[in-house]
Structure 1
């Protein structure tokens, strides 16, 4: 007997912040939907982040739709643990139809629907929302000598805290927020060297994630109308959360130019200068996790899928949520994912339930 293929109006891939925001608006719209999550518990990528990681905004500006994130006990910006607890409570409060752990293997075109292949059977959906984020595809650029280096190399995704680096010599690579936050705490126990491709720039102390979202939104509205407007990059690259400010006060936030290669014992620059180290920590970002969409053959030369809003330009039954500015202004943040999801579900509901 052939296995049963289940039917649903909307299938959401991923129960991270973007998937939960989509679920809230799908439920409010009265649509039939399911959310498949590969994780064995709530929290999305936040459940894998290092313990001291802080959001860039106070709790009141880091909330999903319908329910404010409760403030932290110490009044500081929320930690990853606090965010996971909030997301778990959010799932329960809205009784979102999440199935886990269910890994989506592929999304394929059917005659009148998209076919979603999972490890727990197949689904047919009139619309698929992909909300898998980027955490699962850590990016490390290639540099000569990487295979010769005898020390340890790891990426942000595998960083768990400063303790393993106590008394070591650590090179931290990257000019973004993760690099600055990790540098701030590793430098308290290790001899650190920070290297970046361009001089790092801290945002003004009063700028947080809420301000960044508002700026990104204004810029997108301006671009949509054919005007120009400053972007986040015009202000800086790094949010000055309290640990980063403390590192600044200690004189730690001093970056060297990017090295040219790795050696067996460390790193070396073009001018011949060498630095011995025990660890190279790559804080070099992530790429969209979209292997499940490969059968649709939608990726362009830049590795991204062309979109009109959140809808895939070449496959109107597919929407992309939470991957970054190309799928909505600041959509990789909690507040940005919420606003982008609202726009997407409004469009989907209008199409599936006309009139």
Structure 2
């Protein structure tokens, strides 16, 4: 019976626990989550169809529960220069992060996993008690830094600033609204995730950020200004943040690790790699990492062999998605070059951005 500890209790760890218990019911899995059980928050996340198909094959019960709490749309709306471009046959799904985590927690426990809340843990603390340590501690991963001591970690930072918000309005489609202000461009990526709420990710250039003085005052002041900028989209709806701190404004950093494992530790999810939010694939990478790791361990062999197999399986798939995400991030970093385009040409450039070409 393999003794496994997951450091971090987000989507990647929870789905790995489910997949591993499905593959090897005798496995003993402990998840160490730094926050309390009640502190399960977040706005909506995208549910990509390839990910959902893989989840259905792995575990029908959690797949059905997730779909029951998801919303869908079939159009993308692009707003630019006062015009609107509607793109049909653009099917998508999303759900609240809190809803997804609730489903996965319940299923993991049902299958025999143990979740320890308010229990921050380190690899040093756990190494002597477990055969495998799964570093699933997110974008600020301490496990990644430990593995990275022996292998390069590539980082590419966006020039833009972004803030992840929610709003009390459920849009009926995915919306990209590009606004030109006196200080420069500001745009939002919005989509519904429940009956009365949407994710609202605002991004702007550094020049725009500095011009408005974003991040220098109480966050409520920034939200009020954003409500003015996007008044035509929001109507009477208000914006909300999970925190009142100005540091909610961030610069995205795309991360790639040359090695995903070292000795008895392996990385999954955001601890292993990140992809710019504009292509909506972060959750997909986390779930597919989890399934690949469980499958590789189930195939047998010594632990180093299984972890090396996991890395080989994920390198190509993750590399392809990260390349698309990098193209998309860089397109937004150069958005000033595209803003003068008329709506039709701008929409084409936007749609082809992840391919690294304008049309």
Compare the two structures and name the one with the higher helix fraction: 2
Largest Rg, 1 or 2: 1
TM-score, with structure 1 as normaliser: 0.45
Compare the two structures and name the one with the higher strand fraction: 2
